[in-house]
Structure 1
Amino acid sequence: MFGPEKTEDLIRHIRLAYEQDAVLRVDYQSSPSSRAGLEYTVTNVYDGFVYEINGVKVTAIQVDHGEVKPAFGYRIDYAGRSVVISGDTTYSENLIENSQGVDVLIHEVMAPALQVLLRNIYKDEATVNSIIATHTLPADAGKVFTQSKTRMGVYTHLINNPAQLPELIEETRKTWSGSLEVAEDLMVIEIGRDINIRRP
């Protein structure tokens, strides 16, 4: 298991939550499973942490998600191709620095549709603004795409409300003129000389 500090606390509590179920299945129901699946080790991740296996290199990038500290995005490099996944973040210079020239930058966005949803859930504008402040507005995400010189920007962390996508795109186009996609569940991004999108 890899994660920021306190990951071990999270995993330990999850394991405790399922401990009785595991005991029942393994010790009393003769499940073919064993308790070995409950064993774990945790490696703490920090800014610049690198994990490599079979030619795949994953680098942790510390980002800014307000009071959630630390927060990380990740860069994946393999066979001369690269992808960055921002994770939850505001505009981040560190993310830009570590995303230079990537093929695809998958970036979270506080899309207009999500802002509307938040205002419907929380009637207190201060609460809504505090949530929005920990994420990236479309024009700022566009700046990240532009400054990182990515081949393609891809949005995630949003509600795909077709009626509100034009506003998202319009705001982004103020700062990014390159290739832009809005992610959806089960979408596949194939990266080679060309970048191809397959939608479900």
Structure 2
Amino acid sequence: MFNKISMDWRMILMTTNIKKQASKFKVTLLGTGCPVVSLDRFGNTTLVEIGEKKLVFDVGRGAVLRLSQLDIFPGEIDEVFLTHLHSDHLVGFPDLWLSGVIPTLGKRAKLLKLRGPEGTKQMASHLEKAFSKDINARIAHGTIHPRGAQIEAYDYEEGLIYDEEGIKITAFLVDHGTIKPCYGFRIDYEGHSILISGDTKYNENLIRHSRNVDLLIHEVAAASLDAANPETIRHIMDIHTTPEQAGEIFKRVKPKLAVYTHIVLLGGITEEEADLIGRTKEIYSGDVLVGEDLMSFEIGDEIKVNYPKKVVSMTI
């Protein structure tokens, strides 16, 4: 549970310029938004750092800009994993891929591995063709490494899709309406685990795969009751998860910490009006946070939550 401090602990526990040992298992929300353009919430993207590995899960709008704020070059990313092929989860991929070969941005000299659902290999092939003039010109000038400009793409199915250096990543099917297949991910390392829901409605398969996770990163959606185009809003809400439904999931799973990302607000509702935490707490009494861009989590026996320019520790 949280240390017994009021919810204003963010301001109370602000720390700056403190050097500390890097976490072996760290998660950063690079983007917590949805297709709506927002300078506060960039497109849905999650960075997972385990040891020396840097893995990115979905690559939404502005992912490279957020990486730059962490002083991470796009060329440093080892692999990319896609939950599904909705544009808001992958429009940032060409930027990550192509920027990563530039000398001042990492100068990737190895193939960039991309794992996604059925259709990912085909998409990667078309991207290489679409940018071939740019790539060939840079290779001819000697400014980029030819292998760094290539994508090694895989179409995965449900099950264990990554097992290297003690890191295990399992893909599991979720329910995002007509967008099929759509997956979530569970990442396990040295007895600790996180789960990324992907885009989904309330889903039993997600619940099965969420058992005993330290950190559950889940999407959420809310809408105004007075919104125009109610049919469109009902359709969108039907393929996402309300705070109450998420509360039921958290209640059954009991993660050490749950955090919202991919925050979908429809019909002009504000975050304050949506009251995501309040509505969740009607169902679930455990620890829940609304994610922010660049919020990070250090996973261990304790979970340390780092806000931009702030550090908050909680003992679990």
Place the TM-score, normalised by the shorter chain, in its bin: 0.7 to 0.9
Paired with 1:69 and 1:41, the residues of 2 have a C-alpha distance of: 22
Tell me the C-alpha RMSD between the 2 structures: 1.7
What are the within-5 Å matches in structure 2 for residues 22-33 of structure 1? 22-27=135-140, 30-33=141-144
Amino acid at match of 1:164: E
SS of alignment partner, residue 198 of structure 1? strand
Question: Counterpart in 2 of 1:21?
Answer: 134
The percentage of counterpart residues that share the same residue type is: 39
* Equivalent of 1:158 in 263, 280, 303: 263
Q: Is the 8 A contact 2:195 2:215 kept in 1?
A: yes
**Correspondence 1:66 to 2:174:** no
Q: Per the alignment, do residues 61 and 181 of structure 1 end up closer, same or farther by CA in structure 2, a change over 3 Å counting? A: same
Structure 1 range deviating more: 180-189 or 11-20: 11-20
TM-score (norm 1): 0.88
Paired with 1:162 and 1:42, the residues of 2 have a C-alpha distance of: 37
Q: Which runs of 5+ in 2 are unaligned?
A: 1-113, 309-316
Deviations 1:97-125 (A, max 9, x none): 01101111000000x3xx35xx4xxx421
Give the number of aligned pairs: 189
SS of alignment partner, residue 109 of structure 1? strand
**Correspondence 1:125 to 2:230:** yes
Structure with the bigger percentage of helix = 1
**Correspondence 1:3 to 2:116:** yes
Q: Per the alignment, do residues 63 and 169 of structure 1 end up closer, same or farther by CA in structure 2, a change over 3 Å counting? A: same
**Correspondence 1:194 to 2:302:** yes
Question: Counterpart in 2 of 1:142?
Answer: 247
TM-score (norm 2): 0.57
Structure 1 range deviating more: 99-108 or 142-151: 142-151
Aligned-pair CA distance for 1:142: 0.9
Q: Is the 8 A contact 2:185 2:195 kept in 1?
A: yes
Q: Relative contact order: is structure 1 or structure 2 higher (C-alpha 8 Å, sep ≥ 6)?
A: 2
Paired with 1:179 and 1:98, the residues of 2 have a C-alpha distance of: 19
Aligned-pair CA distance for 1:129: 1.0
